[in-house]
Structure 1
Amino acid sequence: MTKSIFIRSFKLSILVTLLCSSCSSNNSSIKMKGSDTEVNLAVNLAEHFTTLDPAFNIAISGGGSGLGITSLMNGHADIANSSRPLSEEEKQQFKDLGIAIRTIVFAEDATAFIVHKSLPIDEIDILTLAKIMKGEYKNWSEITDMDLPINIYGRQSSSGTHSFVKKKLKIEFTNAAKEMTGNAQILEGVKADKTGIGYVGAGYVAHDPSASQGVKVLKIKSDDTLGFISPMNQSAINAGIYFFQRPLYQFVLEKSWDKVRPFINFERSELGKTLIQDHGYYILEQHQNEI
């Protein structure tokens, strides 16, 4: 009798251990937060992945690269989508917190500058663009024949795209620039404002032509040797010569790596690559390292 009770207790102990292990690892649930540039793509990738593996549950939200990185630090995310690299301050914060992470570059993005469709301008050089964004040029009459004030639609400071554009143009944005929460708001703002100019992820307008109705995507010239280049020019992106192109990052908690890896592998599969490209992003082979 005593032996029988011992065996049942031993089996129960094993069962509880296995259940607790399963609960703690939670290997079928992933939380992904961060970049609004990447959010639509991330949702589409997750939908296809969970169709192939219904056991997985992937919760995705935007809010900006900074929010995603902070969520990673706070343990509220397994993956932070980011349209910029970690800052030195953020690297130090992860180190101080004892949090190990992995960095994945899964696509190449191009930032597009858009204006209202009626504005008589199709291309712009970066020196002129910088003067507009920092508020030195306040009226379109300074570069066109239209006497209208310039209205700028940009992103909040937590946005990786905001930081990227500011760094590339080597400016501080004018305080008059409107701070929007994402690509959709910027598009709608410029569509409704014939004096508007803003910046969005090129993939956002390339993936859904209806989203870009009412606006024009400007060609950009960074120097006289290259001429004006569209962010939709695949050859230019492959050659790395479009001025506003950048890698897209995913920062992954090391402790979440085992459960995240199947999804990362899916992103790098042929289907994953096709989905990324269908959204208007680019795959550069130098980013496709073995993981």
Structure 2
Amino acid sequence: MKYSLCFFLILLLSCSNKQKAVKVKGSDTEVNLAVVLAEHFYKLNRHYRLAISGGGSGLGIASLLNNEADMANSSRPLTAEEKALFEKRGIALKTVVFAEDATAFIVHKNFPVDSISVDALAALLSGKSKTWQQITGKPVPVNIYGRQSNSGTYSFVQKKLGIQFSTEAKEMNGNAQIMEGIKTDESGIGYVGAGYIMHDNGKQGVKVLRVIDSAGRQAISPLDAKAITEGRYFFQRPLYQFVRSSSWGKVVPFINFEKSPEGQQIIRNSGYYIID
């Protein structure tokens, strides 16, 4: 099954007069997982109607503010400004941390290097280093494939590296567009959710770089489940779901399904990690 991560919508319909509608918007990092969870949830709860779409964490949070969603998937916490807006509008929220993700840095499958340091990533993505000279020994220009500023992954990577992204970085709409760009660009580098990589069984024609943290320790892959469980990968993060308190009653059965043994197994099988 192929998903459009710029805007993905799935409607699970029931003819029951007791149908309950739940709208979920937000993170492209989470949208594939949310869709799979919703499909399995619906098999057990035919009286529910779930509408799930991506578009970025910022869009999901804005949808909550504008009463256009019951729940926002987000790969980042709320900002101080967002918290103030919810308080100003008198909108109470419940926060769920339902899984953990790792951000993967990807290059073309023929890229000659397998790992990269945090410092080198900062230099490349900020535009301080404009070629691959220090990494590969070749003065080939670097092409950056990133996300738009409303993406939680954009904010996460920028904050972890302590940089502002290069003004020359290409702003892509989602993981799928970044993948397509990197597959055809041997000078490209981009970042996507590790769950997205594993969801498609590694058939994307890209290489996932192992990352060496600022302490210079062992290079670690975002696909290394043991390293993630032990908290050793530099770019791992919790995944959030923000729910309007007024919608909690109809959303909580879905939340409970995520926490069930079946839901937890779906999260693992989709390439994400369980929060203990």
TM-score normalised by L of structure 2: 0.92
Secondary structure of the residue that 2:197 maps to in structure 1?
A: helix
After TM superposition, the structure 1 = structure 2 runs for residues 139-150 of structure 1, keeping only pairs within 5 Å, are 139-150=131-142
Selected match of 1:222 from 190, 213, 218? 213
Q: How many residues align?
A: 260
After TM superposition, the structure 1 = structure 2 runs for residues 1-291 of structure 1, keeping only pairs within 5 Å, are 28-212=20-204, 214-224=205-215, 226-285=217-276
Q: Distance in 1 between matches of 2:215 and 2:56?
A: 34
Q: Distance in 2 between matches of 1:70 and 1:136?
A: 33
Secondary structure of the residue that 1:199 maps to in structure 2?
A: strand
Secondary structure of the residue that 2:166 maps to in structure 1?
A: coil
In the TM superposition, residue 241 of structure 1 has moved relative to its aligned partner by 1.4
Q: Distance in 2 between matches of 1:45 and 1:280?
A: 13
**Stretch moving more, 75-84 or 217-226:** 217-226
**Stretch moving more, 219-228 or 251-260:** 219-228
Q: Do the aligned residues in 2 keep the contact of 1:109 with 1:246 (CA within 8 Å)?
A: yes
**Residues 145-170 of structure 1: CA deviation (Å, up to 9, x unaligned):** 33321100000000000000000000
Q: Do the aligned residues in 2 keep the contact of 1:115 with 1:196 (CA within 8 Å)?
A: yes
**Residues 117-147 of structure 1: CA deviation (Å, up to 9, x unaligned):** 1111110000011000000111112321333
One-letter amino acid matched to 1:264: I
Q: Do the aligned residues in 1 keep the contact of 2:116 with 2:211 (CA within 8 Å)?
A: yes
In the TM superposition, residue 225 of structure 1 has moved relative to its aligned partner by 5.7
Q: Do the aligned residues in 1 keep the contact of 2:145 with 2:169 (CA within 8 Å)?
A: yes
Secondary structure of the residue that 1:143 maps to in structure 2?
A: helix
Secondary structure of the residue that 1:228 maps to in structure 2?
A: coil
Larger radius of gyration: 1
Runs of 5+ consecutive residues of structure 2 not aligned to the other structure: 1-16
In the TM superposition, residue 54 of structure 1 has moved relative to its aligned partner by 1.0
Q: Do the aligned residues in 1 keep the contact of 2:195 with 2:271 (CA within 8 Å)?
A: yes
In the TM superposition, residue 207 of structure 1 has moved relative to its aligned partner by 1.6
One-letter amino acid matched to 1:97: R
Q: Distance in 2 between matches of 1:114 and 1:227?
A: 18
TM-score normalised by L of structure 1: 0.87
One-letter amino acid matched to 2:90: G
Q: Distance in 1 between matches of 2:177 and 2:165?
A: 18
